[in-house]
Amino acid sequence: MKQTRRPRAVNTSRHKAGIIALALLTLATVPGCSFLVQAHPTPQPTLTPIVIVVTPTPLPPGVLEAADVEEQLVINVYARVSPAVVHITSRVIVRDFFWGAVPQEGTGSGFAIDKEGHIITNNHVVEGAERIVITLPDETSVEAQVVGTDPASDLAVLKIDVPPQKLYPIEWGSLANLRVGQRAIAIGNPFGLDRTLTTGVISSLGRPLKVQGQRKIYDVIQTDAAINPGNSGGPLLDSNGRVIGVNTAIYSPSGGSVGLGFAIPVDTARRVVASIIEKGYYPHPWLGISGLSITPELADRLELPVERGILVTEASPGQPAARAGVRGANREVQLGRYVIPVGGDILIAIDENRIREIEDLTKYLETKTAVGRLVDLTIVRDGKEQTIEVELGEQP
């Protein structure tokens, strides 16, 4: 008789534990599962931390001392010169849409040059103003009178009546000693922020700057010291705190400083200001001629004896050049669509300084001469050079 085997009893507790462990391990492989369970995790080695110690290298004492000297230099300049810088408020009358009179105020900068109360600024700061008020560093406000202006050089001289002890004149510098790369310090009132200091360097020298009409200011100083609206008329200084220019313009598509500021050179400012204080205006030297700049192409077309110079088209009667014997054109020739006056003298030099174009002559007259001075003009007439002495007159 076949024996029937009895089924073995199952240890249900062990069986359930195995099922649970299997289920947990399976869940751990499901993408997106947020946990992982391992029955026997593999031991991991303990990482040894890497500690990096940075020890700053001390600067040599000489470097720190030099940096401190630089700072002290600028601090000293500001302490000495900023009391000379004044805030200028000008009121002008403008017309609204209905042609009604509307007062409008503008602000700018200026600086004292003596104890008599003379203040220098830009002409465009006070041009057309019916009332000008100057505020001194001690908050004293006083009305100013216009001594005189020179729109051609964008300079103006004002005068205030205050006790001498309230004025701190600035010392003049010189254009001859300036070099590109040297320090430039500007002090002024940009956006009405009184006596703000900015620093930079002289970026370029000898720039021409066009002002009213076609007139130019020559030998203008270019600087990257920040100059903004309100700086106009303030001083540009060297490292000794001497005036080397009068801040007058910026190049800025945005209206703010982009590092291209321009200052009227100190030599021009001194010359113009001295004349304004003495005479109330500045007389510009004048020859009284009109002409064309000669180019090699024009010289070839007109069969002229020189390739560069000025072809005198007119010597105004009664004016200095005409009185000295300079001759203008006596006939005309047709060149394409243009009628050219010819037959006049050809100006090639002034005081032995070669002239290539009209701007060379204009610059020399403005920067190197004065009304009443004698100059030697070298001309070519009928193919021969000769020299004519001319006493400069005053530009009408």
> Taking a C-beta distance cutoff of 8 angstroms, is the pair 134, 108 a contact?
no
DSSP letter at 165 equals G
**114 Cβ contact partners less than 8 Å away, ≥ 6 residues apart:** 167, 169
Catalytic, 224? Answer no
Residue matched to tokens 């001594």: 147
Residue matched to tokens 């007159």: 393
d(CA 213, CA 35): 82
For every residue of 270-300, DSSP letters joined together read HHHHHHHHHHSS-PPEE--EEEEEE-HHHHH
d(CA 169, CA 312): 46
Total Cβ atoms within 10 A of residue 239: 15
**305 Cβ contact partners less than 8 Å away, ≥ 6 residues apart:** 346, 380, 383
Q: Tokens at residue 339, please?
A: 């009628």
> b/e string for 352-386 if b means 16 or more Cβ within 10 A?
eeebeebebbbbbbbeebebeeebebbbbbeeeee
Instruction: Let me know if 345 is exposed, middle or buried by CB neighbors in 10 A (0-12, 13-18, 19+).
Output: buried
User: Catalytic residue among 87, 118, 124, 284, which?
Assistant: 124
**215 Cβ contact partners less than 8 Å away, ≥ 6 residues apart:** 152
User: Catalytic residue among 82, 87, 150, 154, which?
Assistant: 154
DSSP letter at 326 equals -
> Taking a C-beta distance cutoff of 8 angstroms, is the pair 115, 89 a contact?
no
User: Catalytic residue among 90, 232, 257, 275, which?
Assistant: 232
Catalytic, 275? Answer no
d(CA 240, CA 74): 9
> Taking a C-beta distance cutoff of 8 angstroms, is the pair 17, 10 a contact?
no
Catalytic, 87? Answer no
Indicate the SS3 state at residue 301: helix
> Taking a C-beta distance cutoff of 8 angstroms, is the pair 86, 109 a contact?
yes
Provide the annotated active-site residues: 124, 154, 232
